A and B are shown apart, each in its own frame.
Chain A
Amino acid sequence: MDNFEELKKRRELFEYKGIKVFIDLSLLTALNGKRAIKEKNEKEFGNLIFLLSIFSILINLFLLFIEGELLLINILNPKTLLQLLPTLMLLGVLSGLYFKRDKNLIDNTRIKLSLENIRTDIEKRLNNNYLINDFIDYQATLILNSSLIDLNSNFIKDISLKLLSDSNIKNILTTRLGIAPNELVSKLDGFRGETAVNGYIDFFTRIFNESMVLNLKNINKYSIFFVLIKFYLRDYLWDYKITDVELDGVRKWFINENQKREYFNKWKLLSKLKPSGDVNLSYTSKGTPTLDSLGEDLTNNKSSRDFVVSIGRDDEMRRLVTLLERETYTAVMLLGDSGTGKTRFIKYLATKMVVEDMPQALREYRLVLVNFNKLFSEKEDINDLKGTIIKIFSEIQSSGNIILVLEKFSSIFSFREEIKSELVSLIVDLLNKTKIKIIASDNFANFQTYIKPYRELVSKFDILEFKEADPQVALQILADESEAISKKYSIEIGFSALKRIIDYSYRFDYEKLMPQKGIDILLENVIEVKSKKLNYLDSSAIEEYLKMKLGVSVGAVKRDESEILMSLETNLSNQVIGQDEAISSIVSAIKRNRGGLNNKNRPVASFLFYGPTGVGKTELAKSLALNYYGSDKFMVRINMSEYSEEENLRRLIGYLNEEGEFVGGFLSEAVRARPFSLILLDEIEKANPKVLDLFLQVLDDGFLIDSLSRRVDFTNTIIIMTSNTASKEIEKLYKERKSYTEIKEVSMEVLKQNFRLEFLNRFDKIVLFRHLTIIEVSKVVEKFLREINIKLSERGIVLNWDSDTLSKLSQLGYDLSFGARELRRVVQENIEDKIADRIITGNIKDGSNVTLKGLDIVSEG
């Protein structure tokens, strides 16, 4: 025990960027025990005194009112005590207040330091020493101290259990991570961790670092919580399939939430201060009456609905602010499809301006949104319209504190043909001569068609691209929105529901984009659940909705990927016969790619299938789509022989036609519509080499840029190219009875002559498909017959066949140079059609047995 006392004394903990941090455990733990009892007593005593004083005041007043004398005092020496009475009462009230004082408040003042001190020290390169105790706030101290009294205890478990009983922490667990706190507590029973003696240095170092990262002022319960789930309880979270990315998301959400709260408090005060007129507070700007009558001042909105914080757009905001800060003109174009949060982003800028979280130069600015469409429709006369527009611009120019927002910028060019070019030259002129600041926004298609032709104008604009929110950010936004939604509809929204929405909403309804799409889905479901008079939205409701929307049960769209990969090989070889080498190499390549070590910025897998025709190349691709994506609808098939000319390339990635309208590319639109799909490119040897060059980038980086300069993402696709190159050589070698590896070696040489080496090297696997043996062909025939049997079983008819049938059909349908291409047709003509005839004529009745002998049909019963 003496040893512990020694340990508990002040000692160095770690060094943080030149600043030494010490710890004094004895100070930290001394808080407990006696102090807790003292506080409890104080509180009870305080309550008593407070109540007594209030009570005595009331009684005395009452008596004074009735008799004009104070009875209680008369018992002692009435006159002297009467003098003292007010004093005593005042003392009572004051000490009552003191005992009832806010403990957090007084203990927060005991923390003399904030982590800000360390941050400024680091900036100024001062090397001070600090005691970590000074930074830990009251609640965190209470959580920590009792666990650290006994240094041999399992302190992490103690701390975790204490934290998990805290309501705020519980709330984070359920709503942000989807974990039931009680379940986690029961799991902690078997927790074995280090004792405090061994582990406390690491622990305190981590909570200190975490608080610095989270940008907190003190070390509080949240920093302890995040350290616990990140370092100590991580193993338990794997059970809930919580990834590191998700944990990081929760931390980011916490930082956002903190900032949001801080912002809102500031905003409430400062939005009241914003002048309601058209000049700024210091009257250093000129009035803008015309602009005010037509526009909406976003920085002058005072209802709390206008307080908007946009999550996950920090980089864009930083860039926008630096652009606006420039001394010269600023013209920024926010380019992004609708639903990516452009409007929200502009409102966030307004919020930032109101809160004055802006560089000094921009604090006096106003953000004014002008709706030109309204103006165009109101003003009939061209000269009148032109005059108004010129007036607006000159007002902006002279006032000098306007940031003009033009949503749907292209609408200026799509209306009123007559003044289009004049308007453009007006804007260009203004940008050249003045320091005007414009933020315009539009989507890619409009930008391409209407704005891009005006090169002079486009060159003035800096472009900020708004991409669809990635799942992580979308989840944060959705979680943020869900709070407001759940309040509004008084419904509880489970985290699992949000996760389901994020998992699937990227796979359908591609015209809408995340996060708006996710919010819409959430709202739709909330209303649906509300109409059923339920008050909890969980994942099952979302699954139901998705089933309705996708037409397939959600399980089929995305099972657990590892599950798919486990059964992939057996499933494929059941469906595609005779290509076991090809299948196993494909499956191993996909497994290798998806094992977690793959480069995320490449397609799921890419293969080149080559070999003779009719041996199952396309069939394999189809069944791969079926097994991996859940349906063969998720396959895009492109016949590359149509792209033998270089100019056909534009048909793949889109182009502007003669009328200046955008025509979507076949490949780019297909992948944008279904990012989770298999892309099958047939007969690539017939395509133009320039067309194939397009795929170099796709195979390597997982994306391509279409002609609207939108990024088309291929990272969720499987790309399969097929080629008949070298089929003659393969046939020759096959006839010479060479082995698979020998054929492969020779045929690879032929491939290398036909395609560029850098192209071939980019595939995950180049797979040779070999000729089918006659036994394998008969297996294929058997597969077809079984399919017919399944169809017939609806009428109760059972089809039997013998080996003679199989061999005859195989001989008819299989050819060395054309493969089994004719096989299905042969089976159809010789068997299916004949049976159908006989069913119609009544020769085969429902529920009868049909036996095939050779190609003849013998029906029984």
Chain B
Amino acid sequence: MFVLDFLKWWYLIVIRKYIEESLLGNLIYFLNKTRALPFVKNFNTPLFRDSSSFGRALSMIIKPWWIVIGSIYSGIRVVPLLIIASFLTVLPLIPFIQLLRFLING
């Protein structure tokens, strides 16, 4: 029971909280900061209110690229957090695996 309780607590609370608050929070923050997310939201509105055909064409070229670059940048920015998240996910399993190995190997 203790082990189950422990795992429930670890995955449902600790990891979930970490992912929601830290990982996703930061990702959304960077997506906003790099304007990738605002660009997605206003994809059809031309840049700088320039509704001329040139302006529209320009924004159609720029916007997708910008979104891609912004997303990549945001992704890179949260890589450390992602590593920590995966580490946290594996962490409680390490002792069990070790114990298992110890028992098997003698």
A window 269-303: CB within 8 A of B: 269, 272-273, 279-287
Contact: A281 with B35, CB < 8 Å?
yes
Chain A hits for B84, CB < 8 A: none
Contact: B12 with A109, CB < 8 Å?
yes
B window 69-103: CB within 8 A of A: 91-92, 94-95, 98-99, 102
Contact: B12 with A281, CB < 8 Å?
no
The residue from B17, B47, B95 contacting A284, defined by CB atoms under 8 A apart: B47
CA distance A797 to B17 in the complex (A): 90
Residue A398 interfacial (CB < 8 Å): yes
CA distance A95 to B9 in the complex (A): 11
CA distance A91 to B106 in the complex (A): 19
> Given contacts A105-B13, A106-B9, A273-B32, is CB(A83)–CB(B102) below 8 Å?
yes
Contact: B41 with A282, CB < 8 Å?
yes
Contact: A399 with B49, CB < 8 Å?
yes
Contact: A282 with B12, CB < 8 Å?
no
Chain B hits for A106, CB < 8 A: 9, 13
Residue A98 interfacial (CB < 8 Å): yes
The residue from B17, B38, B92 contacting A281, defined by CB atoms under 8 A apart: B38
The residue from B6, B45, B46 contacting A98, defined by CB atoms under 8 A apart: B6
Contact: A284 with B45, CB < 8 Å?
yes
The residue from B39, B48, B98 contacting A285, defined by CB atoms under 8 A apart: B48
**Per-residue contact bits, chain A 164-192, to B (CB 8 Å; 1 contact, 0 not):** 00000000000000000000000000000
The residue from A80, A86, A284 contacting B46, defined by CB atoms under 8 A apart: A284
Chain B hits for A88, CB < 8 A: 95
> Given contacts A84-B98, A98-B6, A269-B29, is CB(A283)–CB(B35) below 8 Å?
yes
Residue B53 interfacial (CB < 8 Å): no
The residue from B6, B13, B38, B94 contacting A109, defined by CB atoms under 8 A apart: B13
Which of B5, B29, B35, B49 counts the most A-chain CB atoms under 10 A from its CB?
Answer: B49
- Prevailing SS type, chain B contact patch: helix
Chain A hits for B95, CB < 8 A: 87-88, 90-91, 94
Contact: A282 with B48, CB < 8 Å?
no
CA distance A272 to B33 in the complex (A): 9
CA distance A401 to B104 in the complex (A): 69
Residue A825 interfacial (CB < 8 Å): no
Residue A689 interfacial (CB < 8 Å): no
> Given contacts A87-B95, A94-B95, A109-B13, is CB(A286)–CB(B48) below 8 Å?
yes
**Per-residue contact bits, chain B 32-60, to A (CB 8 Å; 1 contact, 0 not):** 11010011011001111100000000000
Contact: A98 with B41, CB < 8 Å?
no
Q: Give the interface size class of chain A.
A: 20 to 34
Closest to B40 in A: A282
CA distance A399 to B91 in the complex (A): 52
Contact: B47 with A283, CB < 8 Å?
yes
A300 CB to closest chain B CB (Å) equals 15
Chain B hits for A273, CB < 8 A: 29, 32-33
> Given contacts A90-B94, A95-B6, is CB(A281)–CB(B13) below 8 Å?
no
Chain B hits for A95, CB < 8 A: 6
CA distance A91 to B42 in the complex (A): 50
- Prevailing SS type, chain A contact patch: helix
Contact: B48 with A283, CB < 8 Å?
yes
Contact: A84 with B45, CB < 8 Å?
no
Closest to B99 in A: A87
Which of B10, B12, B38 counts the most A-chain CB atoms under 10 A from its CB?
Answer: B38
CA distance A398 to B46 in the complex (A): 13
CA distance A816 to B11 in the complex (A): 100
A window 282-337: CB within 8 A of B: 282-287
Contact: A94 with B91, CB < 8 Å?
yes
Chain B hits for A282, CB < 8 A: 35, 38-39, 41-42, 45
Contact: A281 with B32, CB < 8 Å?
yes
Residue A119 interfacial (CB < 8 Å): no
Chain A hits for B47, CB < 8 A: 283-284
Closest to A90 in B: B95
Contact: B6 with A86, CB < 8 Å?
no
Residue A400 interfacial (CB < 8 Å): yes
B29 CB to closest chain A CB (Å) equals 7
CA distance A84 to B35 in the complex (A): 50
B20 CB to closest chain A CB (Å) equals 12
The residue from A94, A109, A400 contacting B92, defined by CB atoms under 8 A apart: A94
CA distance A287 to B49 in the complex (A): 10
The residue from A94, A286, A398 contacting B6, defined by CB atoms under 8 A apart: A94
Contact: B49 with A284, CB < 8 Å?
yes
Which of A88, A95, A98, A272 counts the most B-chain CB atoms under 10 A from its CB?
Answer: A98
A701 CB to closest chain B CB (Å) equals 51
Contact: A279 with B42, CB < 8 Å?
no
B12 CB to closest chain A CB (Å) equals 7
**Per-residue contact bits, chain B 6-26, to A (CB 8 Å; 1 contact, 0 not):** 100110110001000000000
A21 CB to closest chain B CB (Å) equals 27
The residue from B39, B48, B91, B99 contacting A287, defined by CB atoms under 8 A apart: B48
Closest to A281 in B: B38
Contact: B49 with A87, CB < 8 Å?
no
CA distance A285 to B46 in the complex (A): 9
Closest to A280 in B: B38
CA distance A670 to B99 in the complex (A): 90
Contact: A400 with B6, CB < 8 Å?
no
> Given contacts A282-B35, A400-B49, is CB(A101)–CB(B29) below 8 Å?
no
Chain A hits for B99, CB < 8 A: 84, 87
CA distance A87 to B93 in the complex (A): 10
Chain A hits for B32, CB < 8 A: 273, 281
Contact: B6 with A87, CB < 8 Å?
no
B9 CB to closest chain A CB (Å) equals 6
Known: A84-B102, A273-B29, A281-B35. 15 other contacts (CB 8 A): A80-B102, A80-B106, A87-B94, A87-B102, A90-B95, A105-B13, A280-B38, A282-B35, A282-B41, A283-B47, A284-B45, A284-B46, A285-B48, A286-B48, A398-B49
Chain A residues at the B interface, C-beta cutoff of 8 Å: 80, 83-84, 86-88, 90-91, 94-95, 98, 101, 105-106, 109, 269, 272-273, 279-287, 398-400
Contacts A/B (CB < 8 Å), 28 sampled: A80-B102, A80-B106, A84-B99, A87-B95, A90-B91, A90-B94, A91-B95, A94-B6, A94-B10, A95-B6, A98-B6, A98-B9, A105-B13, A109-B12, A269-B29, A281-B32, A281-B38, A282-B35, A282-B41, A282-B42, A283-B47, A283-B48, A284-B46, A284-B48, A286-B48, A286-B49, A398-B49, A399-B49
Closest 5 CB pairs of A and B: A282-B38, A87-B98, A281-B38, A282-B42, A91-B95
